[in-house]
Amino acid sequence: MDSAQHLGVIDRLRCRVFPGQRGRTDVGAAGPGYFIAELMTSHGLREGDPAERAPAAADFHALKDRVARELDRRDGAHPPPLGMQGLRVRAARGEEIPEPWATVSVRVDELDLWDPDETGRWVALGVADRDTHDEIQLIAVVTEIDPP
């Protein structure tokens, strides 16, 4: 899938009705007020050779940057990336972090984030590569829930 196809998925999610309960969709996970789209997934890197994982992760980050540049052209420049470490620390201290932010914060280190547009939905883009026992994924979040 190329950048244009990833943008198409994001655009469709901006208009799609959110589900009433958590579950899987045709593009990933969803719940009340959010979608987490798995735009691209590596194959064979789960518990694979770290020497292969590092260049693959770099490729995923480069693809994220290309998609982000397209979103910037269309939707306006996004601010500096939103780091997820603070959310992980707050959750570890017992604070309840709302979805989709709780799930995303344990999967990515940072998100590129665009303010709500006319749909009232946030768009976030990141690379889920924190868990070396899992595949690497390019993920997009579309949500009406403000970041905590």
Domain count, the chain: 1
Q: Is residue 25 part of a domain?
A: yes
pLDDT at 60 over 70: yes
pLDDT tens for 5-51 read 999 999 999 999 999 999 999 999 999 999 999 999 999 888 777 78
Q: Is residue 91 part of a domain?
A: yes
Q: Is residue 62 part of a domain?
A: yes
Range of the domain at 44: 3-143
pLDDT at 125 over 70: yes
Helical axes 3-15 vs 50-75, angle rounded to 10°: 60
What one-character-per-residue DSSP string does 43-96 give? SS-TT--HHHHHHHHHHHHHHHHHHHHHHHHHH----S-EESHHHHHHHHTTPP
**Confidence at residue 31, expressed as pLDDT on a 0 to 100 scale:** 98
Report the SS3 class of residue 25: coil
Average pLDDT, the chain: 94
Q: Is residue 59 part of a domain?
A: yes
Q: Is residue 16 part of a domain?
A: yes
* Torsion angles phi and psi, residue 83, rounded to 5: -75, 145
pLDDT at 1 over 70: no
pLDDT at 83 over 90: yes
pTM: 0.94
Q: Is residue 73 part of a domain?
A: yes
Q: Is residue 37 part of a domain?
A: yes
Q: Is residue 148 part of a domain?
A: no
The strand pairing partners of 2, in sequence order, are none
